[in-house]
Chains A and B, each alone.
Chain A
Amino acid sequence: MPSPHNSPVRRLTRAALLTAIALTIFMAEAQIPPPIPIPGVKLGLANIITVYAMYILGPGDTLMILVSRIFLGSVFSGQMMTLLYSLGGGLCCFAAMLVLRRLLDENHLWLASPLSAVFHNLGQILVAAAVMHTWVVISYLPYLVLSGICSGLFTGLCAQMLIRHLNKI
């Protein structure tokens, strides 16, 4: 018998709830005009949920939440082309986090998150280079990485505080 804390129903409900929260954050953020007119630059607040899930729920659930959020987010915002870029970035970022969660504990989320953000940017650029059939898009990488590190620091700190406060409950 699975314990009530680890039953499949509980797990599915928790993943669905987190997906809904991430999707809400994603859609609310999409209403904010982009701060810098460079494609791909954004706050990525929905990744607070991704980072949180990675450290608390584990990789399997995180992948489900991440892929569902990216897919539903693209459907709801009506830009199916962004699905490719988000998916490329998201999966690269996920792979980086798989390694980072073994190296850094949950008191160093502020460090793990910007590093994963860099890999998110690398993934985005690789997809863009493949779609546009050119390496010229590489010139966007420095801008993306710098903005990604800033927003990664912010989302990492948010996730760290989230974990700290939720642990008290």
Chain B
Amino acid sequence: MTKSVKIALGALIAAVILCCGALLLPRKSGTVARITHNGVVIHEIDLEKEHTQRYLEIVAGDGTVLNCISVEPGRIRVEHANCPDQVCVNQGWIRDSALPIVCLPNKLMIEIIGGGEAADAITT
């Protein structure tokens, strides 16, 4: 093994260890879901205070429905998306801060943030 092969192999193993470490980090428990569209926060919902299932629609400037978000007590997911890849729909329900739902084509993001006393719904 030459020196550069050793360095490359070391860098690769370091990357794997770093990533595994990042995945094992403690997850923030929180109940407030923040929905961001085009970089603007459009809703902040405390999932603990939800009692029934309800739907939120994300509508583009020209009136097309981009995503339909389903909110339930303690969890949130994307129900429908108008994009072809449907990655955000397949991700299913989220209930902690581990991995936010991101819809790249529609620039939509749903993340669970800490704290339980957010404003019930900020709507712009």
Contacts and interface: CB of A to CB of B under 8 A. Distances in A.
B106 to A, nearest CB: 8
Helix, strand, loop or mixed for chain A's interface?
Answer: helix
Given A132-B109, A142-B23, A108 B39 contact: no
A17 to B, nearest CB: 29
Contact of A139 (B7, B8, B88, B100): B100
A115 B39 contact: no
A126 interface: no
Interface stretch (A59-67, A77-85, A157-165): A77-85
Given A115-B11, A132-B109, A140 B84 contact: no
B104 A128 contact: yes
Nearest to B15: A118
A112 interface: yes
B29 to A, nearest CB: 15
Residues of A in contact with B, size category = 35 or more
Give the size range of B's interface with the partner: 35 or more
Interface stretch (A6-14, A18-26, A34-42, A43-51): A34-42
A169 interface: no
Interface of A: 34, 37-40, 77-79, 81-82, 85, 100, 103-104, 108, 111-112, 114-115, 118, 128, 131-134, 136-137, 139-143, 145-146, 149
Interface of B: 4-5, 7-9, 11-12, 15-16, 18-20, 22-23, 36, 38-39, 83-85, 87-88, 90-92, 98-100, 102-105, 107, 109, 111
26 contacts: A38-B99, A39-B85, A39-B88, A39-B102, A39-B103, A77-B84, A85-B104, A100-B8, A104-B5, A104-B8, A111-B12, A112-B8, A132-B39, A132-B109, A133-B39, A134-B109, A136-B109, A137-B102, A139-B100, A140-B102, A142-B18, A142-B19, A143-B19, A145-B15, A146-B20, A149-B16
